[in-house]
Structure 1
Amino acid sequence: MEDGIPFFYPFSDFGLNITGLLFFLLDLVLDIWAVVTFYQEEAYVNMGVLIFLLVGSSVLLQAFSWLWYNYGSKEEKEGLGKYVYLEKYLYNRRLLGVLHVCQLGVFLRFASMMEISLRNMASRDGQKEGIAVFLTHDLSLLRLIETFSESAPQLTLMLAIIAHREDVEWVTGLKTLGSFAAIAFSVVMYHRAMRSFSEDKAQMTWMPSLVYFLWNFLLIAPRLAAVALAASTLPVGMIAVHFLLLWITFVLWAWRQKTDFMDTPTGERLYRGTVALIWYFCWFNVSHYDSRGRSIIYHFIIAVDSAILLGLWWWDCFQASVFGMPGWAVFICAGSSYIVGIIVKILYYKLCHPKKSATIDKSDTEESEDILPPQAACLGGEIDEVDFCPSKATGMDEVDVGPLKAPSPPPPPKPLTGAQKRMRKLADNFYS
Structure 2
Amino acid sequence: MGFTKRRCITTVFGIVIYVTDVGTDLWVAVQYFEDGRVAWCTLTLLFVLCGLACAQIFSYAWFCDDGGVADSADRAVRADTADSADAVERADKADSADQLSRRSAVVLHLLQLGIFIRYYRLLRKAVRTVWVCSPSVRDDTELHRDLFAKATDLSMLRLFETFLESTPQLILQLYIILGHDHRSVIQYVCITGSFFNIAWSTVDYRRCFRRSLPDVSEMPWGLPTVVYLSYKLLTVSGRVLALSLLVVLHTYYVFALAFVWLLGVIWTYREETDFCTSKHLEKLYRAVVGVILIFTFFNIKGQNSKLQMLVYYVACATQNLLIPVMFFCLEPGAAKSDFFWPVAGVIFTSTILGLLLLCLFYKFLHRKTEAPVADEVDGLRNEGKKDLEAKRRMQAFLQH
Per the shorter chain, which TM-score range? 0.7 to 0.9
Question: CA separation of 1:86/1:105 partners in 2, compared to 1, >3 Å: closer, same or farther?
Answer: farther
Pair 1:295 & 2:309 matched = yes
CA deviations 1:334-379 (Å, max 9, x no partner) are: 123212211211111122222111xx5xxxxx8xx6499xxxx9xx
Pair 1:26 & 2:39 matched = no
Pair 1:155 & 2:170 matched = yes
Question: CA separation of 1:322/1:116 partners in 2, compared to 1, >3 Å: closer, same or farther?
Answer: farther
Which is higher, the Rg of structure 1 or of structure 2?
1
1:424 aligned residue: 395
CA deviations 1:405-430 (Å, max 9, x no partner) are: xxxxxxxxx9x952110122248x44
CA deviations 1:271-328 (Å, max 9, x no partner) are: 111110000111111023340101111112222333443344333434336994543x
1:225 aligned residue: 241
1:95 aligned residue: 104
Question: CA separation of 1:263/1:335 partners in 2, compared to 1, >3 Å: closer, same or farther?
Answer: same
- Report the AA paired with residue 135 of structure 1: K
CA deviations 1:93-138 (Å, max 9, x no partner) are: 7521221122211111111111111111122243331221011001
| CA deviation after TM superposition for structure 1 residue 86, in Å | 7.1
Question: CA separation of 1:318/1:24 partners in 2, compared to 1, >3 Å: closer, same or farther?
Answer: same
Query: Number of residues paired by the alignment?
Result: 375
Pair 1:240 & 2:249 matched = no
CA separation in 2, counterparts of 1:307 and 1:102? 42
1:319 aligned residue: 333
Question: CA separation of 1:206/1:321 partners in 2, compared to 1, >3 Å: closer, same or farther?
Answer: farther
The structure 1 residue matched to 2:206, chosen from 182, 191, 202, is 191
CA deviations 1:222-253 (Å, max 9, x no partner) are: 11001112222312xx1332122111111111
| TM-align CA RMSD | 3.2
1:135 aligned residue: 150
1:211 aligned residue: 227
2:119 aligned residue: 110
1:56 aligned residue: 50
CA separation in 2, counterparts of 1:37 and 1:90? 40
Most deviating of 37-46 and 301-310 = 301-310
Structure 2 counterpart SS, 1:386: coil
1:410 aligned residue: none
- Report the AA paired with residue 287 of structure 2: G
CA separation in 2, counterparts of 1:272 and 1:41? 37
Structure 1 residue runs of 4+, over 6 Å off?
Answer: 77-81, 198-202
The structure 2 residue matched to 1:126, chosen from 133, 136, 141, is 141
Most deviating of 7-16 and 149-158 = 7-16
CA separation in 1, counterparts of 2:102 and 2:394? 28
CA separation in 1, counterparts of 2:210 and 2:380? 20
2:364 aligned residue: 351
CA separation in 1, counterparts of 2:336 and 2:94? 53
Question: CA separation of 1:233/1:370 partners in 2, compared to 1, >3 Å: closer, same or farther?
Answer: closer
- Report the AA paired with residue 232 of structure 2: N
| CA deviation after TM superposition for structure 1 residue 16, in Å | 1.7
- Structure with larger RCO (C-alpha < 8 A, sep 6+): 1
Question: CA separation of 1:288/1:40 partners in 2, compared to 1, >3 Å: closer, same or farther?
Answer: same
CA deviations 1:178-199 (Å, max 9, x no partner) are: 1111111111111211231467
Does the CA contact (< 8 Å) of 1:191 and 1:212 recur in 2? Answer: no
Does the CA contact (< 8 Å) of 1:148 and 1:278 recur in 2? Answer: yes
2:380 aligned residue: 387
CA separation in 2, counterparts of 1:206 and 1:108? 31
Percent of pairs with identical residues: 24
5+ residue gaps, structure 1: 1-6, 361-365, 378-384, 393-413
CA separation in 1, counterparts of 2:95 and 2:31? 37
CA separation in 2, counterparts of 1:161 and 1:243? 17
5+ residue gaps, structure 2: 69-74, 78-87
CA separation in 1, counterparts of 2:336 and 2:320? 17
CA separation in 1, counterparts of 2:104 and 2:93? 15
CA deviations 1:42-96 (Å, max 9, x no partner) are: 111111111111111111111111111222269xx99999538578444257521
Does the CA contact (< 8 Å) of 1:71 and 1:417 recur in 2? Answer: no
Does the CA contact (< 8 Å) of 2:56 and 2:115 recur in 1? Answer: yes
CA separation in 2, counterparts of 1:92 and 1:21? 25
TM-score normalised according to structure 2 size? 0.84
| CA deviation after TM superposition for structure 1 residue 33, in Å | 0.8
TM-score normalised according to structure 1 size? 0.78
Question: CA separation of 1:111/1:132 partners in 2, compared to 1, >3 Å: closer, same or farther?
Answer: same
